Amino acid sequence: MIYSELTRTAMRIACAAHQGQEDKGGFPYIHHPLHLAEQMTDELTCAAALLHDVVEDTDWTLEQLAQQGIPAPVLEALALLTHAPDTPYLDYVRNLSGNPIARAVKLADLRHNSDPSRLSNPDGNARARLNKYTQAAALLVAAENGDAAP
């Protein structure tokens, strides 16, 4: 984890925004963005990792995050990381693949969400999600390497 004024602000926002939420395994949701942030190598990706689900899963808006001092590069990544319900999943992933901050956070997100030990009861839905995440990760790795999308 990178500790700076920005990441401390992002951590406070994420903790407040996700308070009371649980992941699919029944654990406090905040563990997920903290886990992603620990893998990031710079301040901007760390802040984006902490906030990556705040707009999608809580009442927070990008405008409110901007008012709290979250800088434009992080806000741009967060806009891309926020999956609109009417956008097919792999299109959403393709759309964010060109942004290095969003791509780094999404790859870490996919790895963490694909960890079967996080689920107490893996079922058919979990297997379908894992397949979708595997496809998305392949697309992002190809983009990271400058290859054509699979």
Domain boundaries, the chain: 5-144
Q: Burial, 91: exposed, middle or buried (Cβ in 10 Å; 0-12, 13-18, 19+)?
A: exposed
**CA 93 to each of CA 16, 88, 100, 104: distance values in angstroms, whole numbers, following the listed order:** 27, 9, 12, 12
Per-residue model confidence (pLDDT) at position 122: 63
Cα–Cα dist 113/32, whole Å: 9
Cα–Cα dist 147/10, whole Å: 33
CB 127 within 8 A of CB 116: no
Three-class HEC string of the chain: CCCCHHHHHHHHHHHHHCCCCECCCCCECCHHHHHHHHHCCCHHHHHHHHHCCHHHHCCCCHHHHHHCCCCHHHHHHHHHHCCCCCCCHHHHHHHHCCCHHHHHHHHHHHHHHCCHHHCCCCCHHHHHHHHHHHHHHHHHHHHHCCCCCC
Closest CA to 63 of 86, 46, 79: 79
Q: What is the pTM of this model?
A: 0.90
Per-residue model confidence (pLDDT) at position 148: 59
Amino acid present at 75:
L
Per-residue model confidence (pLDDT) at position 68: 98
Per-residue model confidence (pLDDT) at position 114: 82
Q: Tens-digit pLDDT profile for the chain (150 aa)? A: 899 999 999 999 999 999 999 987 788 999 999 999 999 999 999 999 999 999 999 999 999 999 999 999 999 999 999 999 999 999 999 999 999 999 999 999 999 988 877 766 666 677 777 788 888 888 898 888 887 555
Right CATH for 5-144 from 3.40.50.450, 2.60.40.1120, 1.10.3210.10, 3.10.20.30: 1.10.3210.10
Per-residue model confidence (pLDDT) at position 142: 86
